Amino acid sequence: KTINLLHLLPELLLLVKKRIIGGNDCHVTDRPYHVRLSSRKGTSSTLCGGTLIHAEWVLTAAHCWESEPGWTNVVISKVHPRTATQETQVIRDDPVIYTDHGRQHDIMLLKLRRPVTGVPLALLPKCKNPKLAVQRHISIVMKKCYHSLPELLCGDGDSGSGVEFDDRIYGVIAECTGEYACQMPAKIMDVCEYKAWIKETTGIK
């Protein structure tokens, strides 16, 4: 399921107005579990984000997968902090996309060929009141890490990135529009709705 943040747009715009100008960069140790998903075919390429939730599994958006012949899908880990030595893996296994009654949802798990080591993993969300938790944590994340707002919510190539708070992933960005944050509300997959499927697929306890 997706969460449309249209009703939160005034609050988001207020935060952007107040927080981005003169803001500070996120700390170099923030979000080490963030990965890039790069797909290439000749001179064509696409770029998405993703989240390492298991040493061998990445959570991202399903539309980030390029399935046509000739495309190569690559996960790049250890992209943050910038001082880290990046690791690149070509994805060989088919993606695991959540499907309900024959309809695919825009959320996907990618199996890595080898475990990623030396990186703290993002935890799955606490889901007592998931919708309110996602909305509250998005606001908190924006206040805590506001200089990276385009990376968290909108911007070129940010589909598939996680919306996290306190090292827990609460959402996967399914749709963003435009080059700048909050031109339109982001559509975010509510990870709480897929938590059981994620645990069953990955073996996360």
Mean pLDDT by 10 residues, the chain (205 residues): 49 44 60 93 94 97 95 93 87 96 95 95 84 52 38 49 84 68 66 94 96
Helices (H) and strands (E) in the chain, counts: 4, 11
Kindly state whether residue 150 falls inside one of the protein's structural domains. yes
Predicted pLDDT at 190: 86
Predicted pLDDT at 161: 87
Kindly state whether residue 165 falls inside one of the protein's structural domains. yes
Cα distances from 60 to residues 10, 48, 63, 64, in angstroms, run: 27, 8, 9, 8
Predicted pLDDT at 158: 66
Kindly state whether residue 48 falls inside one of the protein's structural domains. yes
The domain spanning residue 126 has which CATH number? 2.40.10.10
Predicted pLDDT at 16: 45
- ω into 115 cis (within 30 of 0): no
Kindly state whether residue 14 falls inside one of the protein's structural domains. no
Altogether, the residues listed in the chain come to a count of: 205
Q: Supply the pTM of this predicted model.
A: 0.76
Kindly state whether residue 55 falls inside one of the protein's structural domains. yes
Kindly state whether residue 76 falls inside one of the protein's structural domains. yes
Predicted pLDDT at 164: 80
Kindly state whether residue 160 falls inside one of the protein's structural domains. yes
Predicted pLDDT at 37: 95
Shortest CA distance to 30 belongs to which of 78, 68, 81? Answer: 81
Can you give the residue range of the structural domain that contains 43? Answer: 24-202
Cα distances from 2 to residues 12, 20, 118, 148, 184, in angstroms, run: 18, 26, 32, 22, 15
Looking at the structure of the chain, the number of domains it has is 1
